Structures are given as C-alpha cells and as structure tokens.
Amino acid sequence: MLFVNTLTNTAIYFFTISLELTALFLGISTLVALLLMNIPQQKIKRWMAGKGILGNIMGAFIGAITPFCACSTIPLTLGFLEAGINFGTVMSFVIASPLLNPIILTMLIALMGWRTCIAYFAIVFIGAVVFGIAIEKAGGEKQVKKVRIKGGVPEEDEQIPKQFLKRLKIAFMKAWGDFRSVLIYLLVGVGIGALIYGYVPQDFVIRVAGPDNPLAIPVAAAIGVPLYIRAETAIPIGMALLQKGMGIGAVVALIIGGAGMAIPEMSMLAGIFKKKLVAAVVIVIFLTATIGGYIFELTM
C-alpha cells in the first residue's frame, strides 16, 4: 500500500508540474515573441553600442529579455562582434543569455515564488555585468578566433503582418517550435524531480546538501557545471530537492551551474573562442553559482 501511494503521489506530481510548465512556457513564449516583433534587431544592436558599464548592463539586459537557445545566441554573438559591439558588452550578453530569460524567470516564480525569482535575477544580472567587465579587462578579446559569419545580425528585419491575429499565430508557432525543442529536457527534469519527490529520503538530502553543510553550495555548483543541463531541466529538479530539505543556496548553485552552459552552446563557443576564453566562461558560471548560492543562503 505504501508503494502504491508513493507511486500515485509521484505520478500526480509529474503530470501536475508538466501541465503547469507547458502552459507557462507556451503562454510566456507567445507574449515574448509578440513583443520582439516590435523590436527590430537593428535596434537591439544600437542599444548594445554603448561603452563602459552601460554597455555591459545593456548586454545583460538583452540576454535577459530574449529567449534565445544556443543556435541563436552564438550567431548573434558573432554578429555583435563583427558589428563592432564592445567585447565586454558581448560577454555580458553571453553569460546572461542562458541564465536569464522570461521562461526561466516565469518558471522560478511559479515553482519557487517571487522573492526567489527577484533574488536570482539580481545575482545573475550583476554577475553577468561584473564578469563581462572583468573578462574584457583581462584581455579576453585576444582569445576570439578569426572567424566570420554569413549574415550575423540582419540589416533588414522580416516583414511583420499588421493584423494582430496573424501576428499572434506567428508568435504562437514560434513558441510551439521552441517548446518542442525543449520538451524532452523539461520532461526529463520533471521526471527526475518527481522521483526525488516520491522516493528520495528527506533525511538523506538534509544530511548531504542541507543548509547546515557549508560545502553543499560549491559542491552543487561543481556538480551542476559539468552536467550542462538546461534550465527547463534544472529548475524542476531543484524544486523537488528544495522540498526534500536541500538548502536554497545549494539549489540555486545547482540551477546556475547546470543551466549556465548547455552542451550545444559550449561546442559552438569553442568554434569562435579559444580554449582559455571558453575555460574563463566556465569559471565565471561556477563563481556566479557559488557566490549566488551563498548570498541566497544568507539572505533568503
């Protein structure tokens, strides 16, 4: 009977979270696609043309509002570099893009609450700005390979229909395409989270990764970085671990570390950046995850 009840609770958890995240993903993605139809990419390029810290702030901001996957982030990165955008600004965009976007933030609000979402955004945003400046000051621009891209940021944007219903259809189809590309990651994350929720003993999680273990945060960050899991996978897993007693700092470190560098993005970055710069990006993700985790543990 206990096994049946546990299995039932696990299944209910899986289907409830899956349906909730599906609705959130499609709804928010459609709204973002509609918004981006009114923001030509040439305007984005002009916004990022600022120098100094203002440019880094804008680079992180563009990374935060655009739900780009690796296949879009890397060509845009090359396009920005070829357009003469400040290197530090581009690096702030590269760091923020996989960690901050409307989908991730909406998932955090739905699963972990407003306070967690706002704190997460602030930590990652500041980290993207600071480390973008630091990488530029350290001479990271010399670690960019001599490569060129056909197209980059387009000079002319596609024609957008004037009728709202047609725009809504295009936005929804874009959201549906994005959803199909991440569906397997989302289901894997929810599935693992459901198994943790149903079968992993709470005492074990508290003992290994509870808030009383000072090494839980860097260990979670170190585990997350080589996993290269998408945020859509990491957040449901993190929520299940949080409910089992894992410290909030360790959960955040795992999410940042795991979602900060997906396998496709790492492979594509290695095509345009030399090994030292790719390693620097990985170190930045680890430091952001660890520092962010400790801040969460002390303040939340």
Collapsing DSSP states into helix, strand and coil, what is residue 144?
A: strand
Q: Which residues of the chain have pLDDT under 50?
A: 1-4, 148-157
What Rg value do the Cα atoms of the chain yield, rounded? 20
Look-up of token digits 């396998």: 263
Cα separation, 258 vs 235, in Å, equals: 10
Cα separation, 63 vs 261, in Å, equals: 14
Taking the whole predicted model, whether its pTM rises above 0.75 is answered as no
pLDDT at 151: 40
Q: In the chain, where are the structural domains located?
A: 2-299
Beta bridge partners of 144: 273
Cα separation, 271 vs 177, in Å, equals: 26
The per-residue b/e assignment along 132-156, b for 16 or more CB within 10 angstroms, e otherwise, is: bbebbeeebeebbeeeeeeebbeee
Nearest C-alpha neighbor of 58 from the set 117, 129, 7: 129
Helices (H), 83-215: 87-96, 102-112, 114-137, 164-199, 202-209
Query: Is 284:130 a contact under the CB 8 Å cutoff?
Result: no
pLDDT tens for each residue of 117-132: 898 899 899 999 999 9
**What are 103's two structure tokens?**
């989908």
pLDDT at 84: 78
Cα separation, 272 vs 146, in Å, equals: 8
**What are 294's two structure tokens?**
């400790």
Nearest C-alpha neighbor of 134 from the set 88, 98, 85: 88
The alpha carbon of residue 177 and the mean position of all alpha carbons in its chain are separated, in whole angstroms, by 18
Cα separation, 244 vs 30, in Å, equals: 33
* Count of beta carbons in the 10 Å neighbourhood of residue 221: 28
Which are the contacts of 290, defined by CB distance < 8 A and separation ≥ 6? 217, 218, 221, 253
Nearest C-alpha neighbor of 260 from the set 104, 152, 114, 145: 104
